[in-house]
Structure 1
Amino acid sequence: MNFWKYLKDQWWVFVGWFLFVLLTAFVIWLSPGVSLSWGTLGYLVLMQTVVLGVILVIHYMSKRRWWRELTFKEGDSVLQNYLSSARSEEEHLEQEFINQVIREHQETMEQVVTNQEEQKDYIDSWVHEIKVPLAATQLLLRSIEFDIADAKYLSLENELNRMDEYVDQVLYVARLDSFSKDYLIQETSLKKIIQPVLRSQANYFIQKNIRYAIEGDDQQVLTDGKWIGFILRQLLSNAIKYTSENGTIKIRLVKKRKGVQLELQDSGIGIPKEDMRRIFDKGFTGKNGRNDQKHSTGLGLYLAKNLASRLGVKLYAKSVAGQGTKMTLYFPMLSYYEEER
């Protein structure tokens, strides 16, 4: 706080000083044998003003150190540092109150972190537990493959695959905060990532008679294959969902001067222009996702964008309503020391 702001806050002192000057002048005027001239009154006001000024300056200087400690500085964590330089009783009272607020905040945050860790552990456990009956159900379904109609078999298998995808989404959402503990950057073949993802969606390709093609030579990039596979699965799942029967999906691998692009182009319904800026927001389903037949959760693209950003991969979309969508993953050319070439 500067001196002028300090003076602005001392208005009550100036009011008291003015009343004291009036009272002093009134007492002198009432005193017998004492004449009150304008010169005397002016001298009295000057002396009292000087005394008041000295007192205010001394008080300001004594409080400035305390105010400096209370001043927030950019980059500081206010709720992590306790106050300890109080001198007067007033400052001790303020210090104790602020320190108590900090203590309560830290205790609350510790409880929140503990609850989040417990919730994450439960979700991890639940995901692994639920995958057992899912896998068992898939085995049972295969055991009766020839006892039911092909259409019913494909529908059941698709629903089980969709359940498996949703379970994976829950697991990856839970792991976002601890992402740095669960990735391994190494030289990876993009086609080795793409092929298992395509196989996992084979039933949907068959059911909707969607043709796909992989164009371009295989490219080697430095990344985590597991996470990129999950990202690509989300993008491909969306592409299939919003592509009509007899449509096409193309995956292109393009070598750029400073990196590699993986482009996923579909011939689907596209994304409305007004939705484009929000498609990567958490929970945003958009106009297309509100269709009852699409069952959009608004998590797939959010996860894909978030994970890609953490891996240093750029994900962006280009779409025209009614003319399909192109999702692009751009892998910058990196050295093993994470320095962009």
Structure 2
Amino acid sequence: MFWKFLDDINFVARCKKYNIGMWQCPNFLFLVMGFLTVVSMFGTYFASKSFDDETVTIVSVTIVAAIIVTIGSLIIRGVERIAEANVMKNEFISIVSHQLCSPLSAIKWNMEILENDEFTDYSKLTSKQVIFLKNVKEANDKMLKLVNQLLEVNRIDEGRAVLKHENVDLGEIADQAISELKDLISEREVEVKKRIAPDLPPVSADAAGIKTAIKNLISNAIKYSRQKGEVEVDLKANGRKILLTVKDRGVGIPRYQHRKVFEKFFRSANEARYRTDGIGLGLYLARAIVENLGGKLWFESEAGKGSTFFVSIPVVQK
């Protein structure tokens, strides 16, 4: 709470965040307007006590009111500028992402063809050439994932994200998510321990969307775990909801960063130490998807002791 309060009153940092001047920054202008309002109240009171002529009081009140109206106009312009910049940013991300998708998809398809023995005789390739092909494929897959994340974030920001509601077996979805992360699990030499309660009731969710959210949570837990560490995935019924828990004993998140965890492009202070890839969209997307489905996502974490993320999704009402 204390850190949030300091962040709220630090108008200089907020103005720099929006990359606008002080006299165009709504945070600073609201502060100035509040100060002038208080000054005008006291000024009017003392002017009425000190001068018998009401004209002085009327003129002073009129001047202060004009200043407040002017500041109000500046605030509106500042907000409009921020809104316009946000629209331009979303349009830019959408255009660039769509333009990148086509060549990246073409590279992916061609790499898949090259991996087919009918087109490529691997016996004639050197070990280095095989590694080069593998590196190209992995790099392209990462770029495609990044572009798709940017497109999904853009749809969420513009309110265009549409998730279906269908009966979904979360246990099966969790199994699929872990299976699709097998390469990362092998690379990090992390053991994923899953405990899925039997006969779990289905939840009302979008299968692809909820799998993306679960994969993001498990992927983060793996990336921030120590080499040869453990990640626990627990799924059980909790009243009329299904509770998913993803726990790691890795680096953890410093307390002062807790309030920023679900923000776009958030990177933990420990990121440099663990050299994880990604640009900090996974948790933002996970929470947006879960909340869109009527669920809740929260976490507990302590620096140096790991993190635990919780997902609660309502079961299908009979």
TM-score range, shorter chain: 0.5 to 0.7
Aligned counterpart, 2:7:
none
Q: Does 1:331 align with 2:313?
A: yes
Q: With structure 1 as the length reference, what TM-score do the two structures score?
A: 0.59
Which one scores higher on RCO, CA 8 angstroms, separation ≥ 6? 2
Superposed CA deviations along residues 219-250 of structure 1, whole A, max 9, x for unmatched, are 41123334323322221221221234544444
Q: CA deviation at 1:255?
A: 0.5
Aligned mates of 1:113, 1:329 — CA distance in 2: 32
Following superposition of structure 1 onto structure 2, how do residues 94-109 of structure 1 map, counting pairs within 5 Å? 98=69
Q: CA deviation at 1:254?
A: 0.3
TM-aligned CA distance change 1:292 to 1:13, over 3 Å: closer
The 8 Å contact of residues 158 and 204 in structure 1, kept in 2 or not, is answered as no
Q: With structure 2 as the length reference, what TM-score do the two structures score?
A: 0.63
Aligned counterpart, 2:94:
124
TM-aligned CA distance change 1:155 to 1:197, over 3 Å: farther
Aligned counterpart, 1:23:
none
SS of equivalent residue, structure 2 residue 225: coil
TM-aligned CA distance change 1:8 to 1:115, over 3 Å: closer
The 8 Å contact of residues 278 and 284 in structure 1, kept in 2 or not, is answered as no
Aligned counterpart, 1:258:
240
Q: CA deviation at 1:11?
A: 4.2
Aligned counterpart, 2:44:
9
TM-aligned CA distance change 1:333 to 1:12, over 3 Å: same
The 8 Å contact of residues 201 and 316 in structure 2, kept in 1 or not, is answered as no
For 1:134, which of 88, 91, 104 is the aligned residue? 104
Count residues in correspondence: 265
SS of equivalent residue, structure 1 residue 286: coil
Q: CA deviation at 1:289?
A: 0.6
Aligned mates of 2:63, 2:227 — CA distance in 1: 74
Q: Max radius of gyration: which structure?
A: 1
For 1:170, which of 150, 155, 163 is the aligned residue? 150
Q: Percent identity?
A: 19
Q: CA deviation at 1:129?
A: 2.3
Question: Aligned AA for 2:101?
Answer: K
Superposed CA deviations along residues 259-306 of structure 1, whole A, max 9, x for unmatched, are 11112234x524155467346153443342122632463433344334
TM-aligned CA distance change 1:151 to 1:328, over 3 Å: farther
**Unmatched 5+ stretches in structure 1:** 18-51, 64-87, 337-341
Q: CA deviation at 1:130?
A: 1.3
Q: What is the Cα-based RMSD across aligned positions, in Å? A: 4.3
Aligned mates of 2:134, 2:161 — CA distance in 1: 38
The 8 Å contact of residues 254 and 269 in structure 2, kept in 1 or not, is answered as no
Aligned counterpart, 1:204:
184
